[in-house]
Structure 1
């Protein structure tokens, strides 16, 4: 296994730095690397674009996060809070939530949840001029309360300072405080009465807001457990399959590029087009790198990851750190399997040697040579090996001796 990996890496670096078995000069290699970087950036940009082609769970179920947050919120004022978040501060705003949800479908695959569209329509009914003005009045009144509370804090601080000045025997004319100790309580009582009035005003406005027909309709929609359960189920299902969909679309983007680069490389090697072979090899590597990364990423967050997570959760309970052990052993196996596939299918030396002998080509560099030439005049590679059975010369890397038919794969057994 390790010998095959070593040969694979040796062939990889050889193909990446040579043209017709001649090393590429440093300037040309720098140019090739810069081109590689440029193409790699565009590949990742294309992958990012195509991965967002299908609607994400958040786009397909835009109401879920708000709905879920509302359900989990324990506060008494949560009805008012979600109404407040549904109303823009700008009194002239014409935001249409349903229209915004529907626009997510433009240029994307998939559909926005019909329930979420109805949810957006219910929010749009809330967003009228009267309700926006009520919210602004509430915010302005709250600002007044904040100012009075800040003034009270200042008065209390000055009152404490005035008491210290009196204890120290300092005259009131030399005091640095604006409010005398005698007047402090009067100011505090006056401000507290105003604060109480403002709070009552806010309570009335809030009650006015939550008792509007459109508000009651919106809140009843929110409290419909059947609709929420359906949205939650759809969102969780979409979240489960979304990484798999992303990998499928990214593979659709990459696999044609990989096939084209591979075919161009094989064709140029057979015809002896060294520069094209070098460039197509670099392109093949550039297209394979993102695919491998996306596969590994999928193994971390995709369907397989969810399957492993569920198994470990059920068998070992809270010992979820065991997932790391699974990946430590799983990822190398996947890597070795990929190397095995590349070695036996894509870059099979024996398969290449068979085709080259049939076409009177050098087993090593694929250049055309004369029949029975012992060494290639282009790369100097020796074409033959001694048969372990009849001791005649037979072609290297071919499975059987063309003199006696002995199996060359078991020459050392």
Structure 2
């Protein structure tokens, strides 16, 4: 760095300006008619701010749920992808997705109970009153599932399969228990203890016969399971569903649409939340400026707090938009195209762009809200104090409420002219304003 470069001076000046802006913000938020709020009023305004902030974030959460999420728009994506990309063999995947399509009833639930809503109906119901629509491919997927679930014989085979698998599990657990107890029952037999006094469920003399009988039953049940699975696979509705699942063009189209939906979903949510916040920001700004012009102190104070509270989540959403969604992906794609996989360069772009955007926002606020010349022009026209905004007596040179001097000497003719106005009211010469301070609000 060259010797004498005023970096520290610039940093100090920026820090002082930031501190002055924060003090002015706090002063503006805690004064009414140029006077500080008392503790009771300050407590009320803090509670109002909290209520406003909670409702703003609730509204943002509600509008973010308005568009269908990618999972709601493509309810079949997870199950279809699991079927296509699963690790098990083809037959096991076929059986698994077919059996998931058949509704299961509890052990004590009567078969004549009211039918559950169809899968297709549930998907359409979830999309009601939302922005977007359910994928036609997923609706076709759900239609196949509904046709399978509507077949009585398929539901009967499902119940028989569940019962057979439950019996197999129970018998295998029974054999494991007998084997774990065999050593103890064998010691009882060696000791000459009669079977009637044994503490084991199956005496050692009967253990082998019981295990063999259970194994024979397990073999018969497994053969029954194989037959039922084959019947389930060969059913007409099952074959139609499996042909649909293995149609590559349909699956690839659904995956592409789902990937696009996932890509745009964060940007869409942020856009809707920004549209929700912008009317609040603009409305509170217009009300605040109108209240300043009219001299409505309380209205100006409340509208100022609404403006600040609305800007907080807006700034957070702008920061979030810089990290997710289309903007981030476009920057990342540009960096990859220029410099390969050096993703960290995106952070350098943000380090350069974010301060520029922040400075532009500060200049905008200075021009719209903190501009002392605009406030001074309005107050001079209405005969009000340039500092506190209260009405002045005719011809008054100082405010009787706050003591602020309304005039200064012209830099050209030295005649008195209004402070903060750009030109002298006597000779018309341009006036120089050195670091003008924003005027106090007159709510």
Report if TM-score (shorter chain) is over 0.5: yes
CA spacing shift, 1:316–1:86, aligned 2, 3 Å: farther
Give the drift of 1:357.
Answer: 3.6
State whether residues 87 and 127 of structure 1, in contact with CA within 8 Å, keep that contact through their aligned partners in structure 2: yes
CA spacing shift, 1:348–1:86, aligned 2, 3 Å: farther
Find the aligned partners of 1:203 and 1:156 in 2 and give their Cα distance.
27
Give the drift of 1:396.
Answer: 3.6
CA spacing shift, 1:133–1:296, aligned 2, 3 Å: farther
Are residues 1:119 and 2:141 paired? yes
In structure 2, runs of 5+ residues without a counterpart are 1-13, 106-110, 436-443
Find the aligned partners of 1:312 and 1:101 in 2 and give their Cα distance.
40
Partner of 2:276: 253
Give the drift of 1:89.
Answer: 0.8
Partner of 2:237: 214
Are residues 1:156 and 2:179 paired? yes
Counting matched residue pairs gives: 409
State whether residues 8 and 343 of structure 1, in contact with CA within 8 Å, keep that contact through their aligned partners in structure 2: no
TM-score relative to the length of structure 1: 0.88
| 1:304-353: CA deviation from partner (whole Å, max 9, x where unpaired) | 12223444556676665666666566545544443332123333233333
Find the aligned partners of 1:200 and 1:155 in 2 and give their Cα distance.
24
Q: What RMSD in Å do the two structures reach over aligned CA positions?
A: 2.8
Name the stretch that deviates more: 228-237 or 174-183: 174-183
User: Given the alignment, which residue of 43, 62, 65 partners 1:30?
Assistant: 43
Partner of 2:21: 8
State whether residues 269 and 365 of structure 1, in contact with CA within 8 Å, keep that contact through their aligned partners in structure 2: no
CA spacing shift, 1:87–1:165, aligned 2, 3 Å: same
Find the aligned partners of 1:30 and 1:410 in 2 and give their Cα distance.
36
Give the drift of 1:141.
Answer: 1.0
| 1:166-190: CA deviation from partner (whole Å, max 9, x where unpaired) | 7xx6333475323233332222222
In the TM superposition, 1:127-146 aligns within 5 A as 127-128=149-150, 129-146=152-169
Partner of 1:109: 131
CA spacing shift, 1:372–1:7, aligned 2, 3 Å: farther
Partner of 1:74: 87
Q: Which SS does the other structure have where 1:218 is aligned?
A: helix
In structure 1, runs of 5+ residues without a counterpart are none
Give the drift of 1:27.
Answer: 1.3
Find the aligned partners of 1:386 and 1:164 in 2 and give their Cα distance.
117
In the TM superposition, 1:7-406 aligns within 5 A as 7-76=20-89, 77-90=92-105, 92=113, 93-128=115-150, 129-163=152-186, 170-173=191-194, 175-311=198-334, 331-369=354-392, 373-385=396-408, 394-400=417-423, 403=427, 405-406=429-430
